[in-house]
Amino acid sequence: MASLPMLVPHFWEKRAFQAFVVALCTVPVVYYLSQRGLEHEVLRSVTGYATFIATLGALYIAAGGVYASADLKATPGVNVGFLIVGSLLASIIGTTGASVLVIRPLLRTNSQRRNKGHLIPFFILAVANAGGLLTPLGDPPLLVGFVGGVPFFWTLKLLPIWLLYVSMFALFLFLVDRRAYAREPKEALQRDDTEQMPLEVRGKRNLALLGAIVGAAFLPLGWRELGLVAIGFISYFGTPKELHKLNGFSMGPIIEVALLFVGLFVCLVPIEIMLGYLAPTLPIQHSYQLFWGSGILSSVLDNAPTYAAFAALAKGLSHGRPDLVAGMSPQMLIAVSAGSVVMGATTYIGNGPNLIVKSIAERSGITMPSFVRYAIFAFFAMLPAHVIVTAALIFLER
């Protein structure tokens, strides 16, 4: 998943080639596990995959049917408001849904300004990543945790970390944007004053469907997946094609995710078993190490399988401890959850919405930083919060 799109991009664009790669990787793993009497582990993984993709698909389709447009006065305070609202929405409709919904009004609001290139990197940090910390609907790693037994509302315990990162990004954006706003030409500010348009939200029925997804998450296994599939069908066929066109919506991305993740879920089974068994002998023993380990890998790989691997390691390290959550000590679960979600912002490939936001911004005429420049910016922008979280994890472990 990480290397082939860069090594053989033309082949990777073909769905048949993706299916071939998935089969090539998955079939030997299934055979290996079945030969050792571990068919139940494969079944458990496939069941978890069904819940994962049904939830993610329903979120993707319903959010893709909501279109927001606005052209507000492009002041630093308004831009910070977009960042905070988007970060709140990210935990409700997912980082992808919130990014697609909020990025266009933000771009339209700032269309008259000359100095605006800094807005999108901060948007990726907050809305496309850290904002999704509060519920399993927010980001795929937390959804993987929910499928694995983490209670739905447990992630609200990550609120202090959410506040730390989002408030820090909001402060940094305000300081940077205030300087940029002061350098705006007079004619640009005059156009901004005269070309304003109030916020308009279309496809509101999909907002009700997004709320229904939260309710469906509490249904029994089987009924939950059927309910989520039904929500997706109702949204897709009940949304006017015009709104899908305005959002640039297509089923291609979710079909690709569905195809690739069935292979990921199956291939993670032996890795999870191995990590759980070898955990006491590995050099990673503390929660702050889990935070950085899961975060660094999430920066360059997909953060959902990274979460699953480090959650398995956390389970092995938590064996015999009291008050476990889904087999993990609460502190280790916090570390893996936070690291996997927030550090996905470190590169453009760390989380799916990063590339979506980058593409939309570039199509609107904004020049985005190169891969390396963005990675340097993101690392140092997040570093103060990383240090605080690391210190807190070390202190709590004493």
The reported pLDDT for the residue numbered 10 is: 87
The reported pLDDT for the residue numbered 45 is: 87
pTM of the model as a whole: 0.88
Cα–Cα dist 332/293, whole Å: 12
The reported pLDDT for the residue numbered 246 is: 85
Q: Mean pLDDT over residues 165-179, rounded?
A: 97
Cα–Cα dist 64/58, whole Å: 10
The reported pLDDT for the residue numbered 339 is: 96
pLDDT at 48 over 90: no
202: which strand partners?
Answer: 67
Q: Mean pLDDT over residues 241-264, rounded?
A: 86
Task: Name the pLDDT band for 123 (thresholds 50, 70, 90).
Answer: very high
Looking at the chain, the whole-number percentage of residues with pLDDT higher than 90 is 53
Residues 200-224 have pLDDT tens digits of: 889 989 999 988 998 898 899 899 9
Give whole-number Cα distances, 131 to 61, 141, 164, 201, 236, in Å: 20, 13, 11, 21, 26
Higher pLDDT, 253 or 177: 177
The reported pLDDT for the residue numbered 264 is: 85
The reported pLDDT for the residue numbered 106 is: 94
The reported pLDDT for the residue numbered 280 is: 84
Supply φ then ψ for residue 28, to 5 degrees: -60, -35
Four-residue CA torsion sign, 330, 331, 336, 341: positive
Residues 104-122 have pLDDT tens digits of: 899 999 989 999 999 999 9
Cα–Cα dist 214/198, whole Å: 29
Residues 240-250 have pLDDT tens digits of: 999 998 888 88
Closest CA to 148 of 325, 339, 351: 325
Q: Chain-wide mean pLDDT for the chain?
A: 91
The reported pLDDT for the residue numbered 287 is: 94
pLDDT at 133 over 90: yes
Q: Mean pLDDT over residues 174-192, rounded?
A: 93
Answer yes or no: are the C-beta atoms of 312 and 276 closer than 8 Å: yes
Cα–Cα dist 381/121, whole Å: 10
The reported pLDDT for the residue numbered 349 is: 82
Q: Where are the domains of the chain?
A: 36-397
Cα–Cα dist 142/57, whole Å: 15
Residues 67-117 have pLDDT tens digits of: 988 889 999 999 999 999 999 999 998 898 899 889 989 999 998 999 999
Assigned token pair, 63: 């959010």
Four-residue CA torsion sign, 234, 82, 131, 252: positive
Q: Mean pLDDT over residues 131-138, rounded?
A: 94
Q: Mean pLDDT over residues 143-150, rounded?
A: 90
Answer yes or no: are the C-beta atoms of 268 and 309 closer than 8 Å: yes
Cα–Cα dist 121/110, whole Å: 15
Task: Name the pLDDT band for 8 (thresholds 50, 70, 90).
Answer: confident
Answer yes or no: are the C-beta atoms of 214 and 137 closer than 8 Å: yes
Task: Name the pLDDT band for 395 (thresholds 50, 70, 90).
Answer: very high
Q: Mean pLDDT over residues 359-383, rounded?
A: 92
Looking at the chain, the whole-number percentage of residues with pLDDT higher than 70 is 100
